[in-house]
């Protein structure tokens, strides 16, 4: 695959980076990313992934735009209120870069349909706000052999983890949170609040990590950090990283008894 003169010009600031280069930009153009949830994390992440030249995007969100979303969900405007988020996001992408291939779904992710919704993706970025959905996505990624970036934010703190539980010795998201959260009963940003800029920081960091995953083996952007959880603090600005061990008893990626 080669890039057209128009695409070379568009991504010139990437291509001159030794850590990306022409080969890296071609890899991005050949890649597919599934974004699950188009809220405070999915919206800014989508913008930067689209701007990076990802060739195909799969967008999954069953919600509609509410006026309260506009404080942090940066792809939506007041004209989108009342319309589906997935369709509104596709409209934003069409205006931004009509060369992108976009698949949309307004289905709610469940253990039964998750594998189909992420099929063919090179990486999945999950920015949803309930554990049942996150675990369904994680389990599908393990079963399908797809790397997962899982990002979450609340108030002034966020976290981003990179998971490849399908690989020997590597943890999945379920190894991190366990099985107790399969029920949809966790707190959301409506309960706890969220600074919009904090969601943007977490989202753009997750997009950066997704690009690292896609360019692994082609560029020199560094280790994608699988099995590591990055915790971002907005009040006392900084980030710390912890390593999550694979749970041998994990029902998604552990060894059978």
Q: Which of the residues are catalytic?
A: 189
Local structure of 186: helix, strand or coil: coil
Spatial separation of the C-alpha atoms in residues 90 and 175, rounded to whole Å: 33
Asked if residues 109 and 132 have their Cβ atoms less than 8 Å apart, the reply is no
Spatial separation of the C-alpha atoms in residues 227 and 133, rounded to whole Å: 20
Listing DSSP states for 19-80 in one string gives TTHHHHHHHHHT-EEEEE--STTHHHHHHHHHHHT-SEEEEE---B--GGGGGT-TT--GGG
Partner residues linked to 58 by β-bridges: 34, 103
Q: What are the phi and psi torsion angles at 34 (to 5°)?
A: -100, 130
Q: For the chain, first and last CA: distance in Å?
A: 45
């Amino acid at each position: 695959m080669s890039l057209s003169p128009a695409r070379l010009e568009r991504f010139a600031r990437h291509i001159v980076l030794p850590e990306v280069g022409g080969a890296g930009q071609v890899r991005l153009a050949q890649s597919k990313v599934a974004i699950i949830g188009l809220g405070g994390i999915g919206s800014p992440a989508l913008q930067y992934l689209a701007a990076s030249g990802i060739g195909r995007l799969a967008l999954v969100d069953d919600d509609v735009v509410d006026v309260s979303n506009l404080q942090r969900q940066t792809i939506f405007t007041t004209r989108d209120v009342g319309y589906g988020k997935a369709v509104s996001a596709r409209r934003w992408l069409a205006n931004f870069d009509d060369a992108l291939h976009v698949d949309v779904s307004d289905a709610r992710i469940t253990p039964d349909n998750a594998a189909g919704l992420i099929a063919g993706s090179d990486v999945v970025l999950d920015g949803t706000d309930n554990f049942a959905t996150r675990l369904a996505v994680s389990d599908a990624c393990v079963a399908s052999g797809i790397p997962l970036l899982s990002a979450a934010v609340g108030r002034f703190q966020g976290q981003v983890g990179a998971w490849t539980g399908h690989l020997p010795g590597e943890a999945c998201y379920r190894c991190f949170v366990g099985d107790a959260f399969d029920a949809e009963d966790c707190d959301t940003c409506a309960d706890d609040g969220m600074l919009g800029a904090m969601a943007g920081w977490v989202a753009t960091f997750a997009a950066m990590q997704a690009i690292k995953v896609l360019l692994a083996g082609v560029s020199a952007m560094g280790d994608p950090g699988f099995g590591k959880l990055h915790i971002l603090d907005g009040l006392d600005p900084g980030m710390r990283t912890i390593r999550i061990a694979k749970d041998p008893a994990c029902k998604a990626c552990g060894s059978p008894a």
